[in-house]
Chain A
Amino acid sequence: MRVALFVPCLVNDFYPEAALAALEVLQRQGLDVEYPSGQSCCGQPFVNNGMIKEASEFASRFVEIFADYDYVVSPSSSCTGTVRYRYEGLVDDDSYASIKDRVFELCEFLHDIVGVDRLDLGVSYSPVKRIGLHNSCHSLRELELASASELNIEPYSKVKAILSIIEGLEIVEASRDECCGFGGTFSVYEPDVSAMMGRDRIEDHLSNGVDMITGVDISCLMHMEGLARRDGVPIRFVHVSQVLAGRL
């Protein structure tokens, strides 16, 4: 089984430790993981802003680079969601059909393909770590990694299922599973609403007495981190892969 690691631009350039941790977690499962060179953006910023021509250039490149792998795993739900659900019409139908079922977010891959029972993380925390989990919109409502609060369905969370095998880890969720207000270009088109949304999420987590917040999407964490740093709020933001790799 050949597994390719897709590292989103933000992670690659600003948070390489998250990608290193993801690589480590995957390799620990005995998988043959490669990081194909020449990869760049998945095209999400362009799809989201209606720039279809640019988006399809990135999409074609993505499909080309990852064509030969059994699975493509990425430490980001929004990039995974872009490839799985948004490439339709951006690349030819055969390419789309061939890629959409092979691309996975890291926790999703560990849960659905590796399997919780067979998962070996070799990590435990002592004393107990209490960490806030930010469920990003794409993880909830696009990849459906956990049940969104709007739906009348049996509650579940693939992310929590994976994290729960780690001893000494207590995961707490905020009272609202609401958007953090990043939203890509939304953060600069609508700076006031964006900032208020982010501050509300941070406050929600702080009320649970956590000093660390994790999540599957670095973009949400980067936005909230920027606000917390500006406001002098002593809270750390770490990607879920770092929690899984024991690198906090």
Chain B
Amino acid sequence: MGHAEKARDFIMDRDRTAWHDRALWFVRQKRDLAARSVPEWERLRESAARIKSHTLEHLAHYLELFEKNAIENGIEVYWASSAREHNLIVSSILEEEGATKVVKSKSMLTEECALNPWLESKGVEVTDTDLGERIVQLADDRPSHIVLPAIHLKKEDVSEIFARHLGTEPYNSDPKYLTRAARSHLRNKFLEADAAITGVNFALAEEGGIVVCTNEGNADLGSSLPNLHIACMGLEKVIPSKKELGVFTRLLARSATGQAITAYTSHFMKPAPGHRLCVVIVDNGRSALLASKHSSLLRCIRCGACMNTCPVYRRSGGHSYGTVVPGPIGSALAGARDMESHASLPSACTLCASCDNVCPVKIDLHRRINEEREESIEMDSFAAKRRILKIASFFMRHPVLYRFSLKATRVMLGILPKSIVYNRYNVWGRDRQMPIPAKKSFSDIYRSMR
């Protein structure tokens, strides 16, 4: 099933789709207010884009600098070329420590690598500690948004999930009650855990430390108690030094949720005495992306603003993309990596470019998606569409034929019964009346005026 079919299923429930659209538009508006509170906002975006571009241009240098300084700080650094290698590294570190209960804060990378099912197959219990992710995990569902993983679920859905898994009162969907229940449930998981896994928002090359941003403090709580903290990062997460960090922390939370800053911006600069801090740096296709024309996608700091503003995403839901990262950035990334499997995604976009305008690192998202269409149109599933466009191009380049075909259309629309015009192959006509060609085109009128 392509994006359009999954979107259709989502939209079937009109009220829910309207609610989803409004909920995310509300976040977009909060973002606008937060952005307007910073007079130099647009300059800040420009700086962030430049810092990221610069770092990506000298990526090997900054990664090696990070590694050297991190090791000096007592951090262990591992390199993984693929998702599989990443998973093997993580599971072998856990094995060394005999860890079987892991608390994990949000990390899109571990989702990308499908770390949870891998660890579970090794007998490790993994608890996602971000509230949204925990809800989704309990429901055996998948995140539909990178910042708001359970945005596709309403509080009534959460009430049902918690009643089933955490034993809360059925039909009590009071958010405070449900959050408290999740809190005490997670508190036990934190206390029992023998290892923590977190993502990385920024790796500081000069200082050899990592920065993790959360709103719930779950990364800190998780990593403070156990002796082992494994932090997983894509290799694009490195920035030159803490001097540049402020540019990003000012942009990240404002773009993501409209907050001035995330509730917790935790700096992990070295392991606590007697503890292990391991950083796994993952490539998994990123070097190839860096070498491609879509390298700007590696600037992404995963704020989710492009999802909140995307008029398609808000009305089709995150699951319609069939990718770990949905929305404009997810479409663009998936298409750049593997067009064969994601051929419908470049077309799930009106090219409205609103995503470009909210992106804190100024990724030219709509242009990336547009350029990916050069590839997707060559896929087998697009053969019919390609043919129609080729025929259109032929007619448009032959004015006599074109004129004739329009006149014929006008006549046909006039005489054919509605049931034939609005047949099941007329996708335009499913929700819309057909526009009727004018009796005389402008060029005809102009000629007769002269």
Contacts and interface: CB of A to CB of B under 8 A. Distances in A.
Given A16-B445, A190-B3, A150 B309 contact: yes
B268 interface: no
Contact of B354 (A48, A50, A150, A223): A150
B354 A178 contact: yes
B349 A183 contact: yes
B441 A12 contact: yes
A20 B7 CA distance: 40
Interface stretch (B91-99, B147-155, B211-219, B367-375): B367-375
Given A137-B353, A142-B353, A148-B357, A7 B35 contact: no
Nearest to A35: B446
Contacts of A149: 32
A57 B398 CA distance: 13
B434 A226 contact: yes
Contacts of A16: 438, 440-442, 445
A54 B393 contact: yes
A193 B315 contact: yes
B427 interface: yes
Interface stretch (A39-47, A65-73, A121-129, A156-164): A39-47
B42 to A, nearest CB: 6
Does more than half of chain B's interface fall in helix, strand or loop, or is it mixed? helix
B300 interface: no
B292 to A, nearest CB: 16
Interface string B407-449: 0000000000000000000011011111111101111011100
Contacts of B434: 226
Interface residues of B, number: 70
Nearest to B40: A152
B377 interface: yes
A195 interface: yes
B392 A141 contact: no
Nearest to A153: B42
Given A181-B350, A222-B435, A226-B435, A151 B357 contact: yes
Contact of B438 (A13, A142, A222): A13
Contacts of A190: 3-4, 7, 312, 347-348
Contacts of A194: 350, 431
Given A181-B311, A229-B433, A48 B348 contact: no
B427 A188 contact: yes
Interface of B: 3-4, 7-8, 11, 17, 21, 25, 32, 35-36, 38-39, 41-42, 309, 311-312, 315-316, 344, 346-354, 356-358, 370-377, 385-386, 389-390, 392-393, 396-397, 399, 402, 406, 427-428, 430-438, 440-443, 445-447
Closest CB pairs A-B (n = 6): A226-B432, A183-B350, A50-B373, A50-B374, A150-B357, A179-B352
